[in-house]
Structure 1
Amino acid sequence: MVRGERTGMRKRIIAVLGDHWHDPAVSGEALRLAVREAEPLLQTAIEIEIVPAEQLASRLSDNPDAVVMYKEDRINPLDEAVRTWMTPETAEAITDYVRGGGSWLAWHSGMAGYDPEGEYVRMLRGYFEHHPDMKMVTYIEADSPQQADSGKVLAELWDEHYFVWCDAQATKVWLVAVSADGRSEAGWRHGYGQGKVSCLTPAHPKESLADPAFIRLLAGELAGLLRDQLRD
């Protein structure tokens, strides 16, 4: 069944969760809470299926309504010889899926450790660079088109302040992160072919992933990705 023929019916999300630094059970619970909050926004049920990274490319042929990636590319980040899981073939399958009308959420570590020159990062138009020690991070709505702080605080979390490279001229930055360490883009979204891409940098610790303000942020992005039309 082609995406778009399911309007008003149950939506399907495939999620790839967890890596060396991130417990998949914790991010999975946050995703379930966000889905519960997104369902009344869409007035439809949302089904989540968590799949191993190595099965992702083949599962994209099932045409899920959206894919959530909360997993960095490095499999063994503390070893001398670091291995990665995303092959060129998987990156091509991902970008083909989105170009064809799929929706993609790169969430927190879902934009970490990937090849900055690779096809996947080119689709995201941004990637994780580094984070200082955890501290209070204020997430502020960004004005458009200036992409400056609006002053409207959407969440305050004890979190890793992700500093990213973001091609802000080629996407819509809607969320910024501010802490004692500085300011960075924290949420952006854009069209890609016929599909949609969203990037969201929070959150890491269990208490922040369960914070109602963060769950609202995540639910809003999921609802936007699952709607038929790209948001302005």
Structure 2
Amino acid sequence: EIPAVMDFSCTVMPGEAMGIVGESGCGKSTVSLGIMRDLSNIGKIVGGRIKFQGKDMGELSDEELRAIRGNKIAMIYQEPMASLNPAMKVGQQLMEVPLIHDKVSKEEAYRRALEMVRAVRLPDPERMMRSFPHQLSGGQQQRIVIAMALLSKPALLLLDEPTTALDVTVEAGIVDLVKGLGEKFGTSMIFVSHNLGLILETCDRITVMYSGEAVETGKIKD
């Protein structure tokens, strides 16, 4: 067994954006998957605690974890198509979030989904809702994934290299979008990236990781 993350500690306050930066393989993504308690395929947590809103995540049942995942804690991955169903229209996928989590009517679910598509600044929102994922560009797909994550009004949003697959101009737009939406909805964020410039642009505080350890933490302003 090889330890992927050791001696790591950080606190994220409500509405705060924390950046985790470091070279590939230093354990950044393992931290975000650990917070989601989603390490089943790659490893396990053998020590330490992860507390969310005062609750120890390690003491929660599978049912309690399911209620938190994708609802109070949402995650955006590197590759948008990993989060999208290629056989289902975008609108249907977005509507599923309020339908399942909030038990609202189809009309209300459509209204909320359309409102969020507008919030992530996609052109012609009605057409986007009728489209299949493969009909959208990579940048548009990632905006839809962000919309899907925010529809559940999460207290914490985990972003794991969300702009890696995008070109530089599209990346700038996504970074600006995430920053604005975090402020608008008061969402706490943990932004994982190897791109220091992107973290400095987006976050309030930063943690630098090296070989599975947090070697430095501080405010961006400092």
| Greater C-alpha radius of gyration | 2
Higher relative contact order (CA 8 A, sep 6+): 2
TM-score bucket (shorter structure): 0.3 to 0.5
TM-score normalised by L of structure 1? 0.34
Q: Which has the higher strand share?
A: 1
TM-score normalised by L of structure 2? 0.35
